Amino acid sequence: MPKVYLILSIHNHQPVGNFDYVFEDAYEKAYLPFLKMLTAHPKLKFVLHYSGNLLVWIEKKHPEAIDMLTTLIKSGRIELLSGGFYEPVLCCLPEVDRVMQIREMTAYIKDMFGYTPRGMWLAERVWEPHMPECISNAGIEYLPVDDYHFKLAGVDDRDLLGYHVTEENGFMVKVFPGSEELRYSIPFKDVDKVMSYLKEISMTGGSPLLTLADDGEKFGVWPDTFSHCYKDGWLESFFSALENNSDWLKTTTFSEYQDGFYPVGRVYLPTASYREMGEWALPPEGALDYEYALNEMKGLFGDKAKNFLRGGAWRSFFTKYPESNHIHKRMLRISRKVHKAVKKFKIQNSKFKIQKSDKTLNSQLLTPDSLLHELWKGQCNDAYWHGIFGGLYLPHLRSALYRHLLNAEAMAEEVLKGQGVKEFIEEGDLDCDGFRDICISKGDMTAFFTEDSGALIELSSKGKQVNLLDVLTRRPEAYHSRISETAQHDSPAVKTIHDPERLGVKESGLLDYLIYDNYRRASLLDHFFDYNIELDAVMKSEYEERGDFIGSPYLLERIDGGGVRLSREGLVSGNKVKIDKSVLFRKSGIRVDYLLEGRYSGIFATEFNISFLGSPYPSIHAGRKALLMKDKGAHSDMRSFYIKDKFLNMKAAFSFDEDVEMWHYPIETVSLSEGGVERLYQGTAFLFVKRFDFNGSKRVGFTVNFGEAK
C-alpha cells in the first residue's frame, strides 16, 4: 500500500522578558500535557524545538520535563532542533551573532542531552537568499520553512512532497516545505478530515512527505485550545489515528527522512516568511488592499490565489514602526561594541568586575559569555514586530530588549574605556532614516538625538537599564477597521488565531481610544499652539499646529562641554521664528536651554514622552498633588515636579528657570493579541507650556535630574 511520511515539527517559545506566570501557564497548558500525550503514544515520532531561554527556564523550574525529553531522545522518538539561542530573526543580525547564537544553542543541547542536533528552527521562518552560508557555517544541515516560500519560487504542488537543497556561494543546506494546509487543520479541523487529507496525499504515489512546522502553543495556550486538545480529546484522537493507520502513514523526523531519501531538486527561495507575515508587514492601507485583492482573486482561483499575491518583507517592520527600527539599529551598534570588548578579553585574557553602586542594579562578574548573552537576549525577535501577537506593542517586551542591550553596552564600555575616557560618541545617520544623529554615552546616561524634528529619541539609564523615552506612537492598524463591540467568540468552533473572524475586543468602548498621532512620540519636541487650545484637544490630536517645526529637520551639532545644539528657522503663523536649543550632560541628568528669536504671540510647549518600563503605577508629584503616571492633569505656576518609580528605585526631577504650566496625559494604544483587541498604556506625554507675546527673543530653560526614589 502507498505510504505517506509525516513530520510533525513543533516549535515552543516564550519571549525574553515575558512574565514568569506566562511561562508557567504555557507549561501547564501546552508544553507538559503535550509531552505526556507524546509519551503515551510510543509508536509516534516527533520533531521538537525549544528556544534557548525557554529551555533554560524549563531546566530551572521543571526538571521533570528535561527528564521526559531525555528519555524520548534516547528512545529515538524525537529529534531536537537547534536555532538562534534567543529566537532572533537571523537575517537581521550581524553575521557573527547569527552563527554564534546557533552554535551556542547546539552546544547547550549537546551538553544537556548528550545529543547533537543537525537541523534548526528558523525564527518566524524569515528567509533571505543569502542565509545558507551562515546556516551552513553554524554546522546546520537542514531546516523547515513554509510551502509558501517554495510556491513563490514557482515550485508546483507535487514537488512540495519532499525536501530540496539550496545554496549560497556553494554553502548548501536542505529545506523542507511546511504545509499551510496542515497549519490551518491541526488541531482545528475534525480528526477525520485531517486523516482524509493525509490519505489523499498517500495515493499520489512514491514516498510523499508532508511537514507540519508550527507553534506548540496552539496545543493549549491559544484561545480555547486547552479544552479542545485535552479535555475534549482532539489530540488523543489524532495521535491514536496516526498509530492506527501505520500501514499507510509513518511519522518520521527530518534526520531520518533525509538520510533515507534523495531531495526532490534544487531550489532558490526568495525573501519570505509565512504568508500571513507578509500581510502584517504592510502599511495599513496596503494590508487592506491586500485582503480585498486576495478575496477577489479567491473567487477566480480558489486557494491558489495566495500564490499570486505577496505582502511585504519582514524588514518592512522597521519602516512601519520607527521605534522598532531604533532598537534594531542600536542593537547593531551595541553588537560592534560587544565584539570589540570580547576581542579585548581574548587579548588580555582577563576578567572585569562591575561593582554594585547607587547607579547599578547588580554586581556582576564580567566575562565574554555574560557579555554575549546580554547582547543576544536583546536580539529576541518578538518586540521588533507586530502581527496577531502583541509583540512591539507590549511595553514589558520592549523594555526587556532595552534592559539587556543597555546592560551589554555598559559592560562593553567598561572593558573598552581607556584611561581618561569618559564618553562614547557616535555621529552620522545612525538609524538609517536619512537624518543625521548623535548618540552620546556618558557615565550612566545614553542620549540619542536626531535632526528629524530636533528630537531626543532615547534617554537611557544604563545603571537602571531603562530607556525613559520608550513610548510607542498611536498609529492606525489594518485591523482597526474591523473592531466591533461584539463578544470575542460568536461561534462554538475552535478557530486558528489567523482566522479574521476571530477578531474581538477585551473591553467595551475601545473605539473611543482609536486616536492617531500626527508625529512620532519622541521628546524635546517644539509645539506652537493658539492661546485657546485645551488639553483634551491635544490628547485627542484634534488641534492645529501653528508652527512647522514638528516633522522638519533641525541643524544638529556637537558643542563643547559634552552636549548638542539643535537649531532651526521656521514659520509660526506666517512669522519667522528661530529656535536654538542646547542639551548638556550634568552629573546626574541633563540641562536644556532654549533661545527663541522672532515674533510670536501664543503658546510654546516642549513635549517629553516618558515611560518607566510601561508601568502605569509610578507617581507624578506636582506641588501638593500626587497622581498616577497614567492620570491626566494640568498644573499652573510650576517651578518643579518629579516622577517617582519604586520598582526601579528611580526619580526623575524637572526644575524650570521660571514658572510654567505642566500638562500631562496618558498615551494608550489599541492593538491586537492572540486573545483579542486590547488597550495598552504606553507612557505619558508631558507638555511644558509657556504663554508668550514677544517680538525679539525669549529664553527658556530647565534641568532634568535622576536619582533614587526616596
- Which residues, 6+ apart, have CB-to-CB distance to 118 below 8 Å? 140, 141, 142, 254, 255
3-state secondary structure of 43: coil
pLDDT at res. 358: 37
Mean pLDDT throughout 34-53?
98
Q: What is the residue type of 456?
A: L
Q: What is the mean pLDDT of residues 419-447?
A: 92
Q: Grid coordinates representing 12?
A: 515552543
pLDDT mean over 132-159: 97
pLDDT-derived band at 350 (thresholds 50, 70, 90) equals: low
| Residues 570, 552 contacting (CB under 8 angstroms) | yes
In whole angstroms, what is the distance from residue 286 CA to residue 283 CA? 5
Which of the given ranges, 159-173, 287-301, 341-355, 505-519, has the highest pLDDT on average?
A: 159-173
Least Cα distance to 210 among 160, 142, 152 occurs for 160
Percent of the chain residues topping a pLDDT of 70: 94
Assess if residue 217 is contained within a domain: yes
Q: State the average pLDDT over residues 143-159.
A: 96
- 8 A C-beta contact, residue 437 and residue 448: yes
Average pLDDT over residues 336-352: 82
CATH number at residue 65: 3.20.110.20
* Spatial separation of the C-alpha atoms in residues 102 and 342, rounded to whole Å: 18
pLDDT at 587 over 90: no
Residue 339 lies in a domain: no
The total number of structural domains in the chain stands at 2
Q: Which of 29-38, 495-504, 621-630 has the highest mean pLDDT?
A: 29-38
Specify if 468 maps to a domain: no
Closest CA to 517 of 648, 609, 643: 609
Reported confidence tier of residue 131, pLDDT bands at 50, 70, 90: very high
Of the listed ranges 42-46, 64-68, 223-227, 498-502, the least confidently predicted one is 498-502
Report percent pLDDT > 90 for the chain: 86
pLDDT at 494: 63
Average pLDDT (425-451) is 96
Question: Quick check: is 423 in a domain?
Answer: no
> In the 3-class helix/strand/coil scheme, how is 193-246 assigned residue by residue?
HHHHHHHHHHCCCCCCEEEEEEEHHHCCCCCCHHHHHHHCCHHHHHHHHHHHCC
Report the pLDDT averaged over residues 434-455.
Answer: 96
Q: What mean pLDDT is predicted for residues 660-689?
A: 95
CA distance 610 to 460: 11
pLDDT of residue 490: 47
**Residue 514 vs residues 473, 483, 510, 517, 664: alpha-carbon distances, Å:** 12, 10, 7, 10, 19
What are the residues facing 298 on neighbouring strands?
A: none
* Rounded-to-integer distance, Cα 151 and Cα 163, Å: 13
Contact 689, 661 (CB under 8 A): yes
Type of residue numbered 561: G
- pLDDT tier for residue 306 given thresholds of 50, 70 and 90: confident
Q: Determine, yes or no, domain membership for 459.
A: no
Whether the per-residue pLDDT at 498 is higher than 60: the answer is no
Provide the pLDDT confidence category of residue 206 given band limits of 50, 70 and 90.
Answer: confident
**Domain closes at, from 225, 248, 272:** 272
What is the average pLDDT value for the chain, to the nearest integer? 93
- Where residue 366 falls among pLDDT bands split at 50, 70, 90? confident
Per-residue pLDDT band at 265 (split at 50, 70, 90): very high
pLDDT in tens, 654-664: 999 999 999 99
At which of 272, 305, 330 does a domain end?
Answer: 272
Burial of 660 (0-12, 13-18, 19+ CB in 10 A): buried
Instruction: Specify the pLDDT at position 1.
Output: 54
What single-letter amino acid sits at 381? N
20 within some domain: yes
pLDDT value at residue 279: 95
User: Is the residue at 516 inside a domain?
Assistant: yes
Is residue 256 pLDDT above 90, yes or no? Answer: yes
What is the span of the domain harbouring residue 625?
A: 478-707
Q: Dihedrals φ, ψ of 494, to 5°?
A: -80, 130
> How many CB atoms are closer than 10 A to CB 226?
18
497 pLDDT exceeds 90? no
Q: Is-contact 116 78, C-beta < 8 A?
A: no
Report, as an integer, the average pLDDT of 76-83.
98
The span from the CA of 410 to the CA of 176, in Å, is 41
Model pTM above 0.85: yes
Active site residues: 124, 215
3-class state of residue 597 by DSSP: strand
The whole-number average pLDDT for the span 526-535 is: 96
The C-alpha cell at 154 is 514557482
DSSP 83-145: E-TT---GGGS-HHHHHHHHHHHHHHHHHHHS----BEE-GGG-B-TTHHHHHHHTT--EEEE
The mean per-residue pLDDT over the stretch 427-452 comes to 96
pLDDT of amino acid 507: 87
Q: In the prediction, which pLDDT does 500 show? A: 56
Is 33 a member of any domain? Answer: yes
Task: Point out the domain boundary residue: 251, 272, 293.
Answer: 272
Length in residues, the chain: 710
Nearest-angstrom CA–CA distance, 329 and 30: 35
User: Which set of grid coordinates corresponds to residue 383?
Assistant: 518586540
CATH number at residue 663: 2.70.98.10
pLDDT, position 378: 98
